[in-house]
A and B are shown apart, each in its own frame.
Chain A
Amino acid sequence: MVFDRVAAIILRQYYLLRGSFSRVLPLFIWVAIDIVLWGFLTRYLNSVSGSRIDFVPMMLGAVLLWDFFIRIMQGVTMAFFEDVWSRNFLNIFATPIRISEYVLGLVASSVLTSSIGVLMMLGLSTTVFGLSFFTYGLMLVPFILVLFLFGIALGILGCSAVMRFGPSAEWFIWPIPAMIAPFAAVFYPVSTLPGWMQAVSHLVAPSYVFEGMRMFLAGKVVPWQMLATGSALALAYVFLAGLVFKSTYLHAVRTGLIARYSAENLG
């Protein structure tokens, strides 16, 4: 592992962000809109429900954590798309860079970009709606870890899909979080789902986070074993995603897709 090569990928992302309003704005604007929308909705629910349930940490907290996952995932794919959009694969992959270094660069770029969105989320939710990540105490560590790893895994898988099927496959990537959300049980317990959806849900690492969050807020003891399962699943997905990306890259090198990426149909 040569860290200068990883740094090159991060530096590229920094240069692009530094000079581009249209790249910086989306890092926090959607997050801000989500927080404002869900913040007022939860306030309203608190005022009309008459129950003792505080919807702010339950629903707005869920939005906060889910948005964190989306930022991480999209951070990886956006860094990759920069090479797609600028048709830079030939230049990049003709250098001595290894696939592991390239992927690590994408992940590190994602940490850099998503941290901007996370800071915005925390600022808004804390100052306007009185909710901080720290509401969850020590549980925050496994929550963030599982969502971070799962975001990385899906981001890498998304990159693999675009590398394999060409630039037009970009549209596969954007709906992924929305497709996973029902199974991740972001806003309701897994037990609400029908049997077959529950089975799928148990394979979706974030579902353990949101189950844990609700248990914690209900004053119950969160079983660490459950969060350990979520973490193990997320780690396994990162490993699998790495394998899929490597295999996609090797396929692209074999078929000539890297050299003539814009042709799309060489595979």
Chain B
Amino acid sequence: MTAVLSVKDLRKQYGTTIAVDGVSFELRPGEILGLLGPNGAGKTTTINMILGVLEPTNGSIAIEGIDLATARSQALTHTNFAAVYAPLPGNLSVVENLRIFGLLYGVKDLSARIKELLHQFNLGSFANTKSGALSSGEQTRLCLAKAMLNRPHLLLMDEPTASLDPATARDIRVMIRSFMSQGVGGVLWTSHNMYEVQEVCDRVIFLSHGRSLLEGDPKTLPAQHGKNSLEDLFVAVAREPLTLQQIGAYGI
């Protein structure tokens, strides 16, 4: 079966600074893959490269087997994303934003799809409200509705629940899980909430200083590395990346 996303030897260098250094991974259909790491580890840079808004210095990205560098438009047709730092234009209403992005993603039967998403993300009463007037939780729900517009095969979620209260964050996780249960694609998820990662992700990759250090099941990975929890492992990655890299390399 073709991987939803295939990233090979991805590297991004700005002058002498290396933001991402030889990262490779695959995302399988039906999988939620967590991309973890401290601030500046290269998670968002990696996501930006997968979204086609940042050109890699080296390496390749294929979405459902379509090479992003040579067929960007085709590769992005079934891709979408939600990120805490990319709110939709605040000067357009919820419905206007969804209609515009629906057209950009070539969504069929757009009016019905928008209606469906307004209901699914509990945005019906805000349909004609300017997005900028929504609370941060409502804006996040709108970004997620936009991200679901084209029923993406590859969904990129960069800290999607960062600004949400625990109850709303839980609802969002349920929605993503429900989307995944439809079996249409895979999700690449970044978060600093290790509880969330453990609950949502099937597999995680730890990045530090642009390099992939560890990979595995978030439920079993901490114990494999002598840590009590995923959060402890995260802290260790942030503070002792070299030690963990050696552990990863030698399989200790």
Contacts and interface: CB of A to CB of B under 8 A. Distances in A.
A96 interface: yes
A88 interface: yes
A250 B81 CA distance: 21
B14 A96 contact: no
Contacts of B103: 4-5, 7-8, 11
B104 A96 contact: yes
Given A16-B91, A90-B86, A95 B96 contact: no
B177 interface: no
A93 interface: yes
B189 interface: no
Contacts of A43: none
Contacts of B105: 95-96
Contact of B52 (A16, A91, A93): A93
A91 B90 contact: no
B89 interface: yes
B104 A8 contact: yes
Q: Please classify how large the interface on chain B is, using the bins under 10, 10 to 19, 20 to 34, 35 or more.
A: 20 to 34
Interface of B: 14, 44-45, 48, 51-55, 72-74, 76-77, 79, 81, 83, 85-86, 88-93, 96, 99-101, 103-106, 146
25 contacts: A2-B106, A4-B104, A5-B104, A5-B106, A8-B103, A11-B103, A15-B93, A16-B92, A19-B91, A20-B91, A82-B89, A88-B88, A90-B48, A90-B86, A91-B88, A91-B89, A91-B101, A93-B52, A94-B76, A95-B105, A98-B73, A255-B14, A256-B48, A256-B54, A259-B54
A258 B104 CA distance: 18
Contacts of A7: 103
Nearest to B104: A95
B66 to A, nearest CB: 11
A236 interface: no
Contacts, number: 88
B55 A254 contact: yes
B92 A95 contact: no
The 6 nearest A-B residue pairs measured at CB: A8-B103, A86-B89, A95-B104, A94-B51, A96-B73, A259-B48
Contact of A90 (B53, B76, B92, B100): B53
B98 to A, nearest CB: 11
Contact of A95 (B44, B76, B90): B76
A95 B101 contact: yes
B74 A96 contact: yes
Interface residues of A, number: 32
Contacts of A20: 91
A97 interface: yes
Contacts of A94: 51-53, 76, 79, 81
Contacts of B48: 90, 256, 259
A228 interface: no
Contact of A86 (B54, B79, B90): B90
A247 to B, nearest CB: 13
A25 interface: no
Interface in A9-47: 11-12, 15-16, 19-20
A44 B53 CA distance: 57
A94 B79 CA distance: 9
Contacts of A250: 55
Contacts of A98: 73
Contacts of A5: 103-104, 106
A253 interface: yes
A193 interface: no
A92 interface: yes
A258 B93 CA distance: 24
A96 B77 contact: yes
Contacts of A253: 52-55
Nearest to A266: B14
Contacts of A15: 92-93, 96, 100
Contacts of B86: 90-91
A97 B73 contact: yes
Contacts of A11: 99-100, 103
Contact of B89 (A19, A88, A258): A88
Contacts of A93: 52-53
A259 B53 contact: yes
B104 A97 contact: yes
B92 A12 contact: yes
B104 A86 contact: no
